[in-house]
Amino acid sequence: MTEPAAPLLAARFAGGPAVGAAEGGDRRVAQWLDDVANPQRDAILAILDRYPLARTIVEGVADASPYLFDLLRTNAERAQRILTSDPDRHLAGLIDNVRSAALVAADESDLMRLLRSIKAEAALLIALCDIGGVWPIMRVTGALTELAVASVQCAVRFQLALEVARGRLLAQDLTQPEAGCGLIVLAMGKMGAGELNYSSDIDLIVLFDRERSALKDDIEPQTFFVRIAQGISRVLQQRTGDGYVFRVDLRLRPDPSSTPVAVSTDFALGYYEREGRTWERAARRRRRCGADSRASTVRLASASRFYRARRYPRDEAADACVSWTQRRRGRRPQHQAGPRRHP
């Protein structure tokens, strides 16, 4: 027995945007549709005529959101596809397409084009569900986070697959080169908490496990994984004619002012034991794995008790107060720390 078809998005709108006087919205929509060729024009007009709230939302978007209206008018087929879709299934399909993009892309520029195209469609879908009251706010932020996680995983898989092809990485599974490779990518901040919003960047910490890296004997892990981290960032945030996927911030790693963009797990563990700040331990509680070698992640998680207390306990509230006082007096905060090891 087949499940009944879910109502299309245009039929599920429960409200419209609170725009004062959308005088130009209807005119902009009419001009857009005049330039659209059939059969998309007639199909979109039929949807807007049948569902008044859909027309209200589209005209409100045209009047108040240049970015979303550009996504509508630059691809009428995409607009029709979204308005006639089951939003939950459509988003799931888009995320599946992101995950598979690393396997179908011919090269990095092709991958960047694919990811930006999917991101544009997902952004429009999520925004319309938000504006139209189809999804509650936590579903909206969750959808943005799911898209970000899939995008990071795709970028990781693509970069590692390139290294497998070059003979530098010995993969256990060619379709999943990240498995057992020793790489760990942790999502922090709003992404780690599943609370991304439309303007959020994504905070990532890139770590590698020297004991479990599947590199050829003559490959230096630090240089290798730094290159991987830079490639992930480039794929996701470099601006092209199609825009970008997500802005990437790699500065939540241990001691970002003096360490490379990827550091070893041993260095990270030692840093947090010796001199990790209270806010760093708090941030670590809002983390999730963007991509990982499972055994390495389990090892890192098993040592995570140092995020709650240093090896040499001190009154952290007093530390924070002293640091604040020193900054107010124009002095650089002094923190006791053991000898620093190379990352």
- What per-residue confidence (pLDDT) applies to 288? 56
- What per-residue confidence (pLDDT) applies to 318? 54
pLDDT digits (tens, 9 = 90+) for 311-333: 445 555 555 555 656 666 665 55
Indicate if the alpha-carbon torsion angle 50, 52, 54, 58 is positive or negative: positive
pLDDT digits (tens, 9 = 90+) for 247-271: 999 998 888 889 999 999 999 888 8
Q: What is the 3-state secondary structure (H, E, C) of 5-53?
A: CCCCHHHHCCCCCCCCCCHHHHHHHHHHHHCCCCCHHHHHHHHHHHCHH
The model's confidence at residue 212, banded by pLDDT at 50, 70 and 90, is confident
In terms of DSSP H, where are the helices of 105-218?
Answer: 108-131, 137-165, 189-193
The model's confidence at residue 273, banded by pLDDT at 50, 70 and 90, is confident
- N- to C-terminal Cα distance for the chain? 58
Q: Class of the 155-328 domain?
A: alpha beta
pLDDT digits (tens, 9 = 90+) for 154-204: 999 999 999 999 999 998 788 889 888 899 999 888 998 889 999 999 999
The model's confidence at residue 1, banded by pLDDT at 50, 70 and 90, is very low
- What per-residue confidence (pLDDT) applies to 337? 46
* Position 341 pLDDT exceeds 70: no
pLDDT digits (tens, 9 = 90+) for 65-103: 999 999 999 999 999 999 999 999 999 999 999 999 999
- What per-residue confidence (pLDDT) applies to 97? 97
Classify residue 263 by its DSSP letter: E
Q: Which of 22-36, 117-131, 218-232 has the lowest mean pLDDT?
A: 22-36
What number is the average pLDDT over the span 28-32?
Answer: 94
- pLDDT greater at residue 103 or residue 309: 103
The domain limits of the chain are: 155-328
